[in-house]
Structure 1
Amino acid sequence: MSGPTPQASVTCSALSFQWPDGTTVFDGLSFTVGKGRIGLVGANGTGKSTLLRLLAGELTPSRGTVTVGGRLAHLPQNITLDTTLRVDQALGIAERRTALRAIEAGEVDEEHFEKLGDDWDVEERALATLGSLGLGGLGLDRTVGQMSGGETVLLRLAALLLERPDVLLLDEPTNNLDLFARRRLHDAVDSWRSGTLIVVSHDRDLLERVDRTAELRSGSVSWYGGGWSAYQEALATQQEAAGRTLRAAEADVRRQQRELEETRTKVARRQRQNKKLDAQRRAPRIVAGERKRSAQESGDKLRGLHEDRLQEARERREAAADAIRDDAEIRVSLPHTAVPAGRTVLSLHDVQPCFGRLRAATLDVHGPERIALVGRNGAGKTTLLRTLTGELAPLSGTATAHVPLRFLPQRLDVLDDELSVAENVARTAPGVTDNHIRAQLARFLFKGARAEQPAGTLSGGERFRAALAATVLAAPAPQLLLLDEPTNNLDVSSVRQLTSALESFEGALVIASHDLPFLAAAGITRWLLVDEELRETSEDEVRAVLETPSMEVGR
Structure 2
Amino acid sequence: MTNPLLTLDRVSCVLPDGRILFSAIDFLLDRRPVGLVGRNGVGKSFFARLLAGQIAPSAGRRSGTARVHYLPQQITPAPGATVADLAGVAGALQALARIENGGVEVEDFDAVAQRWDLRERFAAALDAHGLGHLDARRPAESLSGGELTRVALLGGWLADADVLVLDEPTNHLDRPQRLALLRQLQDWRDGLLVVSHDRELLDALPRIVELSPAGLADFAGNYTFYARSREAAQARALAELARSRHALRRGEAEQRAQRERQERRQSRGRRESRDANQAPILLGLQKQRSEVSAGKSARLLQTQLEALTARVAQAAGQVLDDPDLALFAPEPAAARRRAAVLEAVELPYGIAAGRPLDLIVAGGQRIGIVGANGSGKSSLLQLLAGRLAPTRGRCVVSVRTACLDQQVSLFDPARSVLEQLLADDPVAGEAILRTRLALLGLDSDTVQRPGAALSGGERLKAALACALYRREPAELLLLDEPDNHLDLAALAALEQMLRQYRGALIVVSHDAVFLDRLALDTRLTPTADGWRASVW
Q: TM-score range with shorter-chain normalisation?
A: 0.7 to 0.9
After superposition, the C-alpha distances for 1:499-548 in whole angstroms (9 at most, x for unaligned) are 12223322221112222221122222211123564321477xxxxxxxxx
Equivalence for 1:276: 271
TM-score (norm 1): 0.82
Q: Does structure 1 residue 205 correspond to structure 2 residue 164?
A: no
Equivalence for 1:94: 93
Deviates more, 1:359-368 or 1:143-152: 143-152
| Distance in structure 1 (CA, Å) of the matches to 2:101 and 2:404 | 53
| Distance in structure 2 (CA, Å) of the matches to 1:162 and 1:518 | 33
Q: Does structure 1 residue 373 correspond to structure 2 residue 372?
A: no
Q: How does 1:17-32 map to 2 (within 5 A)?
A: 17-32=13-28
Residue 437 (structure 1) shift? 4.8
Contact 1:455 1:463 in 2 (8 A): no
Deviates more, 1:200-209 or 1:458-467: 458-467
Number of positions where the alignment pairs a residue of Structure 1 with one of Structure 2:
527
Residue 28 (structure 1) shift? 0.8
After superposition, the C-alpha distances for 1:373-432 in whole angstroms (9 at most, x for unaligned) are 223333333332233233444444433344443233334444466776555434444544
Residue 297 (structure 1) shift? 3.9
Q: Does structure 1 residue 351 correspond to structure 2 residue 348?
A: no
Equivalence for 2:500: 504
Equivalence for 2:68: 72
Deviates more, 1:202-211 or 1:457-466: 457-466
Equivalence for 1:228: 223
Equivalence for 1:549: none
Deviates more, 1:345-354 or 1:511-520: 345-354
Pair 1:329–1:294, CA change in 2 (3 A):
same
| Distance in structure 1 (CA, Å) of the matches to 2:415 and 2:298 | 51
| Distance in structure 2 (CA, Å) of the matches to 1:417 and 1:140 | 32
Equivalence for 1:239: 234
Instruction: Give the unaligned 5+ runs of structure 1.
Output: 1-5, 540-555
Contact 2:82 2:136 in 1 (8 A): no
Question: Partner letter of residue 316 of structure 1?
Answer: R
RMSD of aligned alpha carbons: 3.7
| Distance in structure 2 (CA, Å) of the matches to 1:419 and 1:86 | 33
Question: Partner letter of residue 238 of structure 2?
Answer: G
Pair 1:266–1:528, CA change in 2 (3 A):
same
Q: Does structure 1 residue 311 correspond to structure 2 residue 310?
A: no
Q: How does 1:302-341 map to 2 (within 5 A)?
A: 302-331=297-326, 334=329, 336-337=331-332
Instruction: Give the unaligned 5+ runs of structure 2.
Output: none
* From 164, 170, 175, the counterpart of 2:171: 175
Residue 482 (structure 1) shift? 1.7
Q: Identity, % of aligned pairs?
A: 32
Contact 1:404 1:477 in 2 (8 A): yes
After superposition, the C-alpha distances for 1:439-470 in whole angstroms (9 at most, x for unaligned) are 655654568x5797446465544444443334
| Distance in structure 2 (CA, Å) of the matches to 1:452 and 1:160 | 35
Pair 1:128–1:318, CA change in 2 (3 A):
farther
Contact 1:151 1:181 in 2 (8 A): no
Equivalence for 1:12: 8
Pair 1:387–1:291, CA change in 2 (3 A):
farther
Question: Partner letter of residue 390 of structure 1?
Answer: G
Deviates more, 1:458-467 or 1:156-165: 458-467
Q: How does 1:468-487 map to 2 (within 5 A)?
A: 468-487=464-483
Residue 39 (structure 1) shift? 0.5
Question: Partner letter of residue 182 of structure 1?
Answer: R
Deviates more, 1:210-219 or 1:391-400: 391-400
Contact 1:483 1:510 in 2 (8 A): yes
Report SS of the residue matched to 1:58: coil
Equivalence for 1:43: 39
Q: Does structure 1 residue 535 correspond to structure 2 residue 527?
A: no
Pair 1:271–1:40, CA change in 2 (3 A):
same
Pair 1:422–1:142, CA change in 2 (3 A):
closer
Pair 1:303–1:509, CA change in 2 (3 A):
farther
Residue 434 (structure 1) shift? 5.6
| Distance in structure 2 (CA, Å) of the matches to 1:154 and 1:518 | 22
Report SS of the residue matched to 2:267: helix
Question: Partner letter of residue 233 of structure 1?
Answer: R
Residue 38 (structure 1) shift? 0.5
Pair 1:98–1:252, CA change in 2 (3 A):
same
TM-score (norm 2): 0.84
Pair 1:208–1:298, CA change in 2 (3 A):
same
Residue 41 (structure 1) shift? 0.8
| Distance in structure 2 (CA, Å) of the matches to 1:537 and 1:371 | 10
Residue 228 (structure 1) shift? 1.8
Pair 1:257–1:479, CA change in 2 (3 A):
farther
Residue 71 (structure 1) shift? 2.0
